Structure 1
């Protein structure tokens, strides 16, 4: 049996829109850094994301339109705590510290390292399949990041670049751990992450002597956080379901281009030959990722789990009475062998003898 839709849909558009929102947030966060310390801004961004998503959850319930998503379970809590710590507390704090010490354009392009960290961890630790095209794309992106760090005599990572690189590592860990939560309602998961991480960074900043900025500045930070962190994270988690961590991270590599373009156009930062060359290499890497096609005969082992789904070729089970789609419930998959184009989504996390 073959799939009736492209394996690119809807994972790739979700990942790319997520990347656009996150990439646009970096230069705007750079503007806000002049009015508050980095840790306070990191906290306000995530609090804005969390509060905005809680408002969506509340309005959804008020209008009697509950989402057909699976709830978080007790066994999800350790993974949730880990993603809050790595991706919600450490990552944004390190990014703000980095942006305070480097230009918004260079900082935005260095965020490509997040995709590489995500892919490397998914490949080495979680054994996701990474083919030659994806590897070549990764090397192109890494070459672009090296050009950004070139000072004329060698590669130099300044303090800002080092902070951003470590932030990308933290988010690479976060992205792979978030895959463990991708079956549950992403709005609830992202809201919890935003509230918990944002409150932690704001509280620590206040203890260290920070003072809240004006209400207008707080509102601006919350708006940037809601779109660039909250909505972006929800879309990223939905993409994880369809693409796996390595490929979602690869498509997410578009984010730094958006940030660099905004930094040049709106913030008046110089458009240097170095920036253009790095951007071109990174675009080649992104194109290689988009052009990948993975197809072979594969075996689905017996599997039982809970997530939102429709009755497609991977969900052929019976219900008592009529049901609406999409819906979520605990269900079992019988063993199945077939061939079609696919990514390592939640139903295709099988092993490979070698890259295809």
Structure 2
């Protein structure tokens, strides 16, 4: 990817597609149980992406697959992000207003950044930290509003959505470990496994498949909101790092709120707007961050789609014009330089902390 802005656009596109699925899922919860909705969403995601991969003949390209040591990371990502997260979200949506649910999903970005910082030691600057604090404050306001309504189920719903965000945060950090692999393969595997699991749970609990038109609608929504969105998210992870991608993905609720208010016209109360302002401030603090210092790249060997730039100056054993994106195993030699960067696949170095 040629520029930071292209990567940001990819992350925002992923957010838009995912955010729009929340109010649609809320509408589908009437005739379908939560596990059925989650199952059809992810099954649509996996089936749609699988069809594209088959049409591309991906099995003929050994560079499209995952290496054995990456399968454990993928398995964890599928469990947390494809099974536990969607189920918790669907259960939470059944007792929480759609607009409130959409904004609470901002917690995913905060928790993603926190895990990346504390567990995986990804650098998070001051502006990112305060952005996290602002988004957390917005989530607290939303949870308080749900509790103030006097309904225990509303508070429980908010907690379930928060737990779903935690599952997706873990998923995001695990997916970062395999972000150099083919994004569509990752998203397809997650969709097929998670979809089959959630659908199996729903059927085991006595649920029945809805009318074909509803199934098609749910699977189509899942293909765009979970499948294409995840492909774009993995690509953004590759170029922006986990915390920054999670921050940009935090705008997803904006699209969900806009669609939910169009589907169920209402005037939000003051707590809603206070939370929205706090979350907007948090996202802005993430966007304005600039990270630049002298850093050293150790020798690194990996495979991903790239062009020749300051970090890719290798030779080839096949004809290459030098200007087209291409994929092949390549090695990076040690180099020390200074430029603005993010913790992408080439900048995962440690930082001195005061």
Please, what TM-score do these two structures have when normalized by structure 2? Answer: 0.94
Q: Aligned residue for 1:279?
A: 276
5 Å-filtered alignment, 1:226-305, equals: 226-305=223-302
1:97-112 superposed matches below 5 A: 97-112=91-106
> Is this contact kept in 2: 1:70–1:184, CA < 8 A?
yes
Partner of 1:179: 176
Q: Aligned residue for 2:5? A: 9
Deviation at 1:60, TM superposition (A): 2.4
Structure-1 residue corresponding to 2:51: 55
Q: Establish whether residue 123 from structure 1 lines up as the match of residue 120 from structure 2.
A: no
Aligned match of 2:132: 138
CA RMSD in angstroms comes to: 2.1
Aligned match of 1:83: 77
Deviation at 1:103, TM superposition (A): 0.5
Residue 332 of structure 1 corresponds to 331
Q: Determine the C-alpha separation between the residues in 2 that align with 1:340 and 1:113.
A: 31
Pairwise CA distance, 1:66: 7.9
Q: 1:117 to 1:152 in 2, by over 3 A?
A: closer
How far has the Cα of 1:134 moved from its partner? 0.5
User: 1:327 Cα deviation (Å)?
Assistant: 1.8
User: For 2:319, what is the secondary structure of its paired residue?
Assistant: coil
* TM-superposed deviation, 1:262: 1.2
1:27-65 Cα offsets, whole Å, 9 max, x none, are: 01100110110011110000010111112112323xx99
Q: How far is 1:354 from its partner?
A: 2.8
Call closer, same or farther: CA 1:68–1:134 in 2, change over 3 Å.
Answer: farther
3-state SS of paired residue (1:211): coil
3-state SS in 2 of match to 1:83? helix
Q: 1:348 maps to which residue?
A: 347
1:39 paired residue number: 35
Question: What are the Cα deviations for residues 72-128 of structure 1, in whole angstroms up to 9, with x where unaligned?
Answer: 111111111111111000000000000001011101111111111100000000000
Provide closer, same or farther for how the CA distance between residues 275 and 79 of structure 1 changes in structure 2, counting only shifts above 3 A: same
Task: Describe the superposition over 1:183-228 as per-residue Cα deviations: whole angstroms up to 9, x where unpaired.
Answer: 1111111011101110011011101100111011111111110111
Could you say if the C-alpha distance between residues 153 and 264 of structure 1 is closer, same or farther in structure 2, counting changes exceeding 3 Å? closer
Alpha-carbon separation, structure 2, partners of 1:133 and 1:318 = 39
In 1, Cα distance between equivalents of 2:266 and 2:34: 21
Deviation, 1:16, is: 0.7
Q: Runs of 5+ in structure 1 lacking a partner?
A: none
CA distance 1:153–1:192, shift in 2 (3 Å) = closer
User: How much does 1:269 deviate?
Assistant: 3.9
Q: CA deviation at 1:153?
A: 9.1
- Cα 1:319–1:152 change in 2 (3 A) is closer
Equivalent position SS for 2:327: strand
